[in-house]
Amino acid sequence: MNDLIKARGLTKSYGGTTVLDSVDITVPAGTIVGFVGANGAGKTCTIRALLSLMPPDSGSVELFGEPLSASAGDEAAVRAKRRIGVVLDTCPFIGDLSVKTAGDVVKAAYPTWRADLFEGLLRRFELDPKRKVKDLSRGMGMKLQLACALAHEPELLVLDEATAGLDPLARDEVLDILRDFVSDEAHGVLLSSHITTDLEKIADIVVGIDHGRILFDLEKDAITDGMGVARCRAADVERIVSGGIAEEGTLRVLRHERSTDVLVPDRFAFARRFPEIACDACSIEDYLQLVLKGEPR
Amino acid sequence: MKAAFLSEFASVRSTLAQMALIYLACGIFICIGMKSVLGMVGAISAMTPFFLTFTFAGYDTLNGWERYRAALPLSRRDIVLGRYANVLACSVVAAAASVVAGLAIAAFAPSLPIGEELASNLAKEADLALLALVAVSALAVMLIVTSFLLPAVFRFGMNKAMRFVPIGMFVVIMLGGLALPNIAGMPDVLVQLDAWLSDPSNMPLATAAIAGITLAVFAASCLVAVRLYRSKDL
């Protein structure tokens, strides 16, 4: 499988603050990679480094197999970006422009821009070409960005918090578009979001980041289908830890005021071993919480 | 560079139509108020570089447009070149249009119902060389100011550039003003230059020289801006 994005060891500091710390991330063709983390965790910084908006202090980025670096020059980045569609968290177009003119501004940058495809996307998204950008709702602005991102037939979509602030219907519509896009095996999506339910719906791989460091990089099904969260009493924790259901140090224990959650790697094995303890399927949010805040046991 | 130029131009296309209307109103007001087409030509030629620089710089600060544009397949170098080319091209077109309008107003003034005094004042300025010199001089002054402003706008953004560039320019002009009279022979050179410029036959050469010097400063500013913008984190 080809990797559309392959970044290794991305590190970036401002003064004494490290915003990216040896970040590795890969987006294989045919997959949607969900990039999850709290606000300020490093998602946007990573995307900026991937798109050459912020040169990292160290590390390497390959887009479509071609390395990007200062020595490779601007041309390599320009060539790669022609194959990428970008959607940012806010509609970036100038408010006074019409929807059609916003398309013209972007069109000039892409040699492969298809005016008919852009017009078709505007019709599909029910966007009036004459309407001013400043009069668009957040959802409409996001759809305009998507239309611009798709009209040059990219192979890779990079979306930074694209679904944040959208109502559930608009979010589902965006997710449907992404599913359609990635039905072509040569395509891929990197979707950063702190809305983990969106990633549960469409992601193939989930990458978690916190304080600029990658916490995990797993297939989504490994989290949501296999793992579980045992809801138990504090007194049960030692029994679970010593129960032989996981290797030492791989369980995560998060104590709440009246209960304790334990992240278990195989909820079916856990249910067989401890049938009296409730064990829920693990959501991405549960996993993130437990990895971030849980005590390793 | 062409892609960056066209993209940037598309973003101000509708603004240029508004600008033309503003120029029309200003032109009429200046021609009647100053009883001269020279003032109109100078004002329009001077306004365009600033108008575009502020428009573009304002857009950069809106809604993350600057970051989004850098995510498009445009190199930093092309983005800078595209902006400089837009400012220069639109300014030259506006200045040329103002000269043509000035000539037209001067030519048709006697047949317009605007009073004999105004008509004769406007008509006597039907001089292409003089109008061109005024247009180029006014454009040159503002393009040189813009040459200081644009690299700072690219590197630090509009707000910081507007805070520090005027101070920097004031210091440079003051130091230049203090230093020039102390340079040996400079006063004589300035007197000779004034006499040379007063000869109408030297006007085309003076116009070309001003244009050449301005373009050289503008090009140097562009190179500085490319270097500064390349290393900017967006």
Q: What is the pLDDT of residue A70?
A: 65
Q: CB atoms < 10 A from the CB of A262, how many?
A: 28
Q: Return the exposure string of B166-184: e unless at least 16 CB atoms fall within 10 Å of the residue's CB, then b.
A: eeeeeeeeeeeeeeeeeee
Average pLDDT value over all residues in chain B: 90
Q: What is the pLDDT of residue A131?
A: 95
Bridge partners of A20, per DSSP, are A12
Q: What is the pLDDT of residue A72?
A: 61
Q: Whole-angstrom Cα distance, residue B68 to residue A148?
A: 12
The answer to whether B152 and B229 are in contact (CB under 8 A) is no
**Tens place of pLDDT for every residue, chain A, 297 residues?**
589 999 999 999 998 899 999 999 999 999 999 999 988 899 999 999 999 999 899 999 999 998 887 666 688 889 999 999 999 988 999 998 999 999 999 999 999 999 999 999 999 888 999 999 999 988 889 899 999 999 999 999 999 988 877 888 888 888 998 999 999 999 999 999 888 889 999 999 999 999 999 999 999 999 999 999 999 988 888 888 887 788 888 889 999 888 899 999 999 999 999 999 999 999 999 999 999 899 888
Q: What whole-number percentage of chain B has pLDDT above 90?
A: 48
Q: What is the pLDDT of residue B202?
A: 87
Of B4, B65, B76, the CB nearest to A93: B65
- pLDDT, tens digit, for every residue of B209-227? 999 999 999 999 999 999 9
CATH, range A3-221: 3.40.50.300
Q: How far B11 CA sits from the closest chain A CA (Å)?
A: 6
Q: Is B201 exposed, middle or buried (0-12, 13-18, 19+ CB in 10 A)?
A: exposed
Q: What is the pLDDT of residue A16?
A: 86
Global pTM exceeds 0.90: no
Extents of the domains making up chain B: 2-230
If DSSP codes are grouped into helix, strand and coil, which group holds residue B153? helix
Q: Which residue of A has its CA nearest to B68?
A: A92
If DSSP codes are grouped into helix, strand and coil, which group holds residue A13? strand
Q: What is the CA radius of gyration of chain B?
A: 20
Per the rule left: phi > 0, alpha: psi between -120 and 50, beta: everything else, A227 is beta
The answer to whether A265 and A218 are in contact (CB under 8 A) is no
Bridge partners of A84, per DSSP, are A156
The answer to whether B46 and B141 are in contact (CB under 8 A) is yes
CA distances (Å), origin A265, targets A211, A228, A247, A268: 24, 7, 10, 9
Q: Whole-angstrom Cα distance, residue A157 to residue A35?
A: 13
* CATH architecture of the domain formed by A227-296: 2-Layer Sandwich (3.30)
CA distances (Å), origin B150, targets A245, B156, B220: 64, 10, 11
Phi, psi of A8 (to 5 degrees): -130, 130
Start-end of CATH 3.30.70 domains in chain A: 227-296
A75 to chain B, any CB pair closer than 8 A? The answer is yes
Q: Whole-angstrom Cα distance, residue B51 to residue A181?
A: 42
Q: What is the pLDDT of residue B185?
A: 78
Start-end of CATH 3.40.50.300 domains in chain A: 3-221
The answer to whether A130 and A99 are in contact (CB under 8 A) is yes
Q: Which residue of A has its CA nearest to B65?
A: A92
> For residue B117, what pLDDT band results from cuts at 50, 70 and 90?
confident
What would the mean pLDDT of B49-76 be, rounded to a whole number?
91
In chain A, which residues have their Cβ closer than 8 Å to the Cβ of B62?
94-95
Helical axes B76-108 vs A73-81, angle rounded to 10°: 80
B64, A48: Cβ pair inside 8 Å?
Answer: no
- The three-point CA angle A135-B154-A13 to 5° equals 100
In chain A, which residues have their Cβ closer than 8 Å to the Cβ of B226?
none
